[in-house]
Amino acid sequence: MNGTFKNLALISALFCFTAQAYANGTVPADSQPKSETTLLMEQALNQGGSAATREAAVNELLANIENYQSAGTANKGPYEDNLKARLKAIDSIWSLGQIGDPRLMAKLTKFYSQSDDVLKVNLIISIGKLKNNTKAGPYLFDIAADARETEVVRAAAFELLEQIGYPSTVINLKRSAKIGIEKADLIYTGGITGSISGWFSPDLPVGHAGLFVGTEVKDGKIKLLIADCVPDNFKPGGVRNIDSWYNFTHHYMYPYYGNRTTPVKPTAAQRERIARLGIAMGKMGLHYSDTHFSQKGPQDFDCVGYTEFLYEAVGLNPTENSYETGTGWPLTPWEQFIAVKPYAAAAPSAIIVPSHNIVMPSQAIITNGFNALGGAFGTIGLRAPEVNTNIQPEIIE
């Protein structure tokens, strides 16, 4: 598929769907193709189906995670050779949280002890979504209070404690030795509308980009600092500064897919300048570009254009400019995701937390989030389908 078709497809999408319609939940769920994991989730939630069919769907989602974690050292890191398998495992974790059956607690906590930070954040969110699960609170509190965990992981635990109404303040809170994400790293989640790659290969779900700024302690809790750009009708909307995974993932509608940065690693000084610029611009009342003709400002941005702008301000370019003009337009979050590079991370460390008995199951969570996990977060950005789904990223040491 050539760039011209990419342009035409975007124009068609702009006529058919608007960011506001997605934000308001008025676009029908079946207007997008669905990934394998989304179809399994729907099958598990379908009360009209047999119990055996629902159980088989849950078991297949569990197998996606188990297979990923048991694939050996080369495939268990944060960015292994088979990126598609990793994304499927992350989507499966998210889907199990949407299903909401508290009997899944034992499985999710087992996965946690074998996970890196990206998987841990997603597992924490899914554990917090399990209904009538009285053991989630103590489990998450232990993670939030444990200084051996990174601060980005602990921040997720603090958030979910608040979400489920469990005490979430740690007296004399001790900071972690590691933040978990470097200042000014690019971070990614799913999206709302859908890119061409999402339409034709919905297992590739990256759709929203943001900037990680850091962490801070407020009222005995660890909070995130994130700069990003979303449609103006979101709350908060436009170019903004937010303090939670909840807001970054659009109220946990999508998973968190990890952090990356430019092939030329930013210096400490460049990282500081990027972060300071992001915080400053988030206070200026700048707007989101619904048309995406103004991806990089100066007044209107979209999510991926905003992150490009921040990096380019210090002389770095996450994605080559040919993606932003002519037949390459518009640059999409997925295109940026595969252009930038991941970092090698420390091996997962087992965190010992209490084992808990599981209470009886409840009605599963049913949401409007049956999207393909394949689009731009408020960005109707498009990507040709001939993307290589078996990417072997270059690791920056």
Residue range 235-264, pLDDT digits in tens: 999 999 999 999 999 999 999 999 999 999
258 and 122 housed in the same domain:
no
Residue 254 sits in a domain of what CATH number? 3.90.1720
257, 189 contact by CB (below 8 A)? yes
320 and 232 housed in the same domain:
yes
Q: Which pLDDT band, with edges at 50, 70 and 90, does 325 fall under?
A: confident
61 lies in some domain: yes
Contacts of 112 (CB under 8 A, 6+ apart): 119, 120, 123, 124, 351, 353
216 and 287 housed in the same domain:
yes
150 lies in some domain: no
128 and 201 housed in the same domain:
no
What is d(CA 137, CA 160) in angstroms, rounded to the nearest whole number?
9
The encoded tokens of residue 186 equal 């690019």
Distances (CA, A) of 90 to 126, 275, 311: 11, 27, 27
Range of the domain at 334: 182-344
- The whole model's pTM is what? 0.81
Peptide bond into 318 cis (omega under 30): no
196 and 125 housed in the same domain:
no
192 and 121 housed in the same domain:
no
Q: What are phi and psi of 208, to 5 degrees?
A: -150, 135
The encoded tokens of residue 359 equal 């209470």
Q: What are phi and psi of 281, to 5 degrees?
A: -70, -30
Of 199, 140, 194, the closest CA to residue 170 belongs to: 140
pLDDT greater than 50 at residue 375 = no
205 and 334 housed in the same domain:
yes
What is d(CA 181, CA 188) in angstroms, rounded to the nearest whole number?
12
272 lies in some domain: yes
160 lies in some domain: no
What is d(CA 113, CA 342) in angstroms, rounded to the nearest whole number?
22
The encoded tokens of residue 352 equal 């010992």
133, 359 contact by CB (below 8 A)? yes
The encoded tokens of residue 178 equal 């590691």
Q: What is the mean pLDDT of residues 223-233?
A: 96
The encoded tokens of residue 397 equal 């040491």
239 and 340 housed in the same domain:
yes
What is d(CA 205, CA 192) in angstroms, rounded to the nearest whole number?
10
253 and 340 housed in the same domain:
yes
305 lies in some domain: yes
209 and 312 housed in the same domain:
yes
Q: How many domains does one find in the chain?
A: 2
- Report pLDDT digits (tens) over 63-119: 999 999 988 655 444 444 678 888 899 999 999 999 999 999 999 999 999 999 999
12 lies in some domain: no
Query: How crowded is the C-beta side of 395, counted as CA atoms within 13 Å?
Result: 12
Contacts of 269 (CB under 8 A, 6+ apart): none
Q: What are phi and psi of 226, to 5 degrees?
A: -130, 140
- Cβ neighbours, 10 Å, residue 358: 17
Model pLDDT, residue 85: 87
- Cβ neighbours, 10 Å, residue 285: 11
For a pLDDT cut of 70, what percent of the chain falls above it?
72
- Report pLDDT digits (tens) over 118-177: 999 999 999 999 999 999 999 999 999 999 999 999 999 999 999 999 999 999 999 999
